């Protein structure tokens, strides 16, 4: 659902064969029906926390379509709580999905792409991977880690003709917040006036980034401004977020 479904649809609309994965088999089949193009889309159950699930999905995809040109790491959820109060088990579980699941998937798909002569890995990160969010610190940490891994892997894999694209959306109008794990001490730093962009806009930016072989896409482009301000004046951004915390 959300960004993942929108990316699946925009790639399918371009004529590609798409394999859609989700922990919930019923949910991914429903998403496949909404995406359409049933003759060249496949839905599978896969939990990226389990390497055997990833290997099974990759094996079935290669068997059916003979190759994997693009792999999108989009699985993830949030944890809303303070550093002082957050549950460590919930924190570890989030890292298992948001970060370690993505790394495991990269390790599983890289040999396939090497054998076929190239490919693209797209990691869906977040602006929160550039600017740490109060009361979402652990979530930001998973995205900071994903950014670093993607940047390093891009250099490592260039000789194999494997490109790594990192996509960093800002606020997106999805059910992400409703599906986040809620801790005991949570506050919102999102301004009331910010409505966020649509998942479809993120998907369009992802497709353009893929076609242009960009290293990173920040969407909307206006989020480049706070990212750059934070890099040069972190105290100013932190002061602003402290005032916005509700």
Q: Contact at 8 Å (CB) between 138 and 85? A: no
What average pLDDT score do residues 27-36 get? Answer: 94
What average pLDDT score do residues 173-180 get? Answer: 67
The CATH class, in words, for 69-244 is alpha beta
DSSP helix/strand/coil, 236? helix
Please say if 171 is a catalytic residue. no
Q: What is the pTM of this model?
A: 0.91
Which residue, among 89, 169, 93, has the nearest Cα to 129 in the 3D structure?
169
pLDDT digits (tens, 9 = 90+) for 44-71: 999 999 999 999 999 999 999 999 999 9
Both tokens assigned to 60:
């079935």
The predicted pLDDT at position 176 comes to 63
Q: Kindly list the domain boundaries of the chain, sorted by start residue.
A: 69-244
What average pLDDT score do residues 3-19 get? Answer: 96
Q: Of 139, 171, 210, 230, which residue is the catalytic one?
A: 139
The predicted pLDDT at position 244 comes to 74
Question: In whole numbers, what is the pLDDT of the chain averaged over residues?
Answer: 92
Residues of the chain above pLDDT 90, percent: 81
Angle between helices 137-157 and 88-95 (to 10 degrees): 30
Judged against a pLDDT cut of 90, whether residue 245 lies above it is answered with no
The pair phi, psi for residue 219, each rounded to 5°, is -135, 130
């Amino acid at each position: 659902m959300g960004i993942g479904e929108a990316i699946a649809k925009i790639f399918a609309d371009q004529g590609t064969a798409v394999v859609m994965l989700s922990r919930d088999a019923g949910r991914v089949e429903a998403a496949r029906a909404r995406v359409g193009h049933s003759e060249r889309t496949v839905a599978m159950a896969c939990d990226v926390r389990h390497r055997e699930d990833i290997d099974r999905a990759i094996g079935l995809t290669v068997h059916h379509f003979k190759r994997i040109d693009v792999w999108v790491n989009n699985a993830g959820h949030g944890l809303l709580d303070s550093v002082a109060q957050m549950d460590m088990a919930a924190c570890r579980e989030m890292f298992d999905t948001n970060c370690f699941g993505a790394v495991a998937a990269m390790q599983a798909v890289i040999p396939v792409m090497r054998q076929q002569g190239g490919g693209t890995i797209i990691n869906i990160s977040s602006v929160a991977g550039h600017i740490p969010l109060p009361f979402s610190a652990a979530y930001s940490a998973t995205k900071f880690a994903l950014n670093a891994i993607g940047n390093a892997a891009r250099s490592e894999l260039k000789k194999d003709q494997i490109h790594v694209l990192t996509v960093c959306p800002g606020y997106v109008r999805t059910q992400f917040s409703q599906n986040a794990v809620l801790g005991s001490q949570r506050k919102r730093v999102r301004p009331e006036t910010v409505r966020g962009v649509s998942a479809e806009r993120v998907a369009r930016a992802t497709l353009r980034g893929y076609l242009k072989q960009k290293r990173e896409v920040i969407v909307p482009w206006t989020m480049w401004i706070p990212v750059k301000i934070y890099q040069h004046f972190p105290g100013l951004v932190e002061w602003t977020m402290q005032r916005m915390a509700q």
